[in-house]
């Protein structure tokens, strides 16, 4: 296991008392880091990323949802939060109001959204990212699910967190939005768009995926250049994320960085998770998707030791404790999306989202699809 016994106890105690916490593992590492902090007087949990630059974890919603940054400040580690709860055994904070969906996205709803989006794309061009979710129930401990997912995603940014504003989220995202150290004058990011099944040959990528990727590269480089930075895009390559392989271009920018926060706002969301033109794509997502994305395709990350690491929240799930047939467990909403282009094929897009969700679903033992009879605890 990656998650230690003490960390697992800290997670369970925080979940039992609704104390904001996060446990995360950086790409290439096998050492989880835990942090927790108490809600403020309004029952909210805000990270210090903007106010004081302190070590923290943060998570936000997708652009078209409420623009809100929640998070955890590194006030307590796992031992300290266990000690705090032991000395305050009756402490109980408010549970989140939002709950996962008990039904998955219906294929007929997805097909209708696809038709509406591609009708405009084939007339005017551009790109729109269409997402869907899968509802599952499992009696397994979510800490064990997280540990399994962490171990199977070594190159991703992995996390399990809870805040009153967002509820519980679990993810392993391969996509870096921005990395920058304090006063370094350098930003590192990537374009990650275009996908095909891992192991599906080594031949040339099709035109649809190449064009989809080029849209993202252009957007990111233009956005960074608009801040007066010197931008350099590396060679086109591939990045494997479990059952899916993506086209990948590393991008760096150097210069006088006046506001990292403004750069993040300008980059987020990229066409990789929304589309292009961006505001039109977001409007179509609002109009045609039949679910709220919540924190899926928002941002998630950490500030530690003066370095800011911001990721796009992909390969993730929203979860809540629930009871089914007299057994306690968890309901999960797994999210995934795919970029629609004028020459997209409906069945290919549906199957792509299924592959993206499979990495997490395979880590949830004895999962029951669409748990309509489940009741939240």
Q: How far is CA 369 from CA 136, 138, 365, 377, in A?
A: 5, 9, 12, 19
- For 162-215, what is each residue's pLDDT tens digit? 999 999 999 999 999 999 987 788 999 999 999 999 887 667 899 999 999 999
Burial pattern 25-63, b for ≥16 Cβ within 10 A else e, equals: bbbeeeebbbbbbbbeeeeebbbbbeeeeebbbbbbbbb
Lowest mean pLDDT among 10-14, 133-137, 304-308, 319-323: 304-308
Q: Is the pLDDT of residue 218 over 80?
A: yes
Q: Is the pLDDT of residue 64 over 80?
A: no
Mean pLDDT of 75-97: 96
Q: Which residue has the higher pLDDT, 217 or 67?
A: 217
- For 233-283, what is each residue's pLDDT tens digit? 999 999 999 899 999 999 999 999 988 989 999 999 999 999 999 999 999
- For 296-318, what is each residue's pLDDT tens digit? 999 999 999 889 999 999 999 99
Reported as a pLDDT band with limits 50, 70 and 90, residue 331 is very high
Distance in angstroms (rounded) separating the CA atoms of residues 57 and 46: 9
Mean pLDDT of 79-106: 96
Closest CA to 313 of 270, 260, 371: 270
The reported pLDDT for the residue numbered 239 is 93
Task: Write the DSSP string, 313-325.
Answer: --SEEEEEEEEET
Cβ(191)–Cβ(217) below 8 Å: yes
């Amino acid at each position: 296991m990656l998650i230690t016994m003490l960390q697992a106890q800290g997670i369970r105690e925080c979940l039992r008392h609704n104390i904001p916490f996060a446990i995360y593992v950086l790409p290439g590492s096998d050492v989880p880091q835990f942090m927790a902090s108490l809600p403020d007087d309004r029952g909210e949990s805000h990270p210090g990323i903007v106010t004081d630059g302190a070590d923290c974890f943060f998570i936000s919603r997708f652009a078209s949802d409420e623009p809100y940054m929640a998070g955890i400040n590194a006030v307590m580690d796992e031992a300290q939060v266990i000690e705090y709860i032991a000395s305050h055994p009756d402490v109980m904070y408010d549970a989140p109001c939002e709950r996962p969906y008990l039904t998955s996205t219906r294929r007929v709803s997805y097909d209708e959204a696809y038709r509406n989006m591609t009708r405009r794309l084939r007339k005017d061009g551009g790109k729109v990212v269409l997402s869907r979710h899968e509802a599952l129930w499992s009696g397994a401990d979510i800490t064990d699910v997280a540990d399994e997912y962490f171990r199977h995603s070594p190159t991703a940014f992995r996390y399990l967190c809870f805040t009153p504003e967002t509820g519980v989220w679990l993810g392993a995202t391969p996509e870096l939005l921005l990395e920058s150290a304090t006063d370094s004058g350098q930003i590192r990011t990537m374009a990650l768009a275009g996908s095909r099944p891992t192991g599906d040959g080594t031949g040339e990528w099709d035109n649809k995926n190449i064009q989809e990727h080029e849209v993202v590269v252009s957007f990111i480089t233009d956005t960074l250049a608009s801040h007066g930075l010197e931008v350099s895009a590396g060679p086109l390559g591939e990045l494997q994320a479990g059952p899916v392989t993506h086209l990948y271009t590393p991008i760096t920018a150097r210069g006088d960085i006046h506001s990292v926060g403004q750069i993040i706002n300008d980059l987020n969301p990229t066409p990789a998770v929304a589309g292009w033109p961006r505001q039109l794509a977001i409007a179509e997502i609002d109009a045609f998707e039949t679910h709220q994305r919540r924190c899926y395709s928002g941002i998630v990350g950490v500030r530690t030791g003066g370095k800011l690491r911001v990721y796009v929240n992909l390969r993730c799930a929203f979860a809540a404790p629930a009871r089914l047939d007299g057994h306690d467990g968890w309901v999960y909403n797994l999210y995934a999306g795919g970029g629609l282009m004028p020459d997209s094929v409906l069945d290919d897009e549906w199957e792509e989202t299924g592959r993206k969700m499979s990495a997490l679903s395979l880590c949830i033992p004895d999962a029951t699809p669409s748990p309509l009879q489940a009741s939240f605890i």
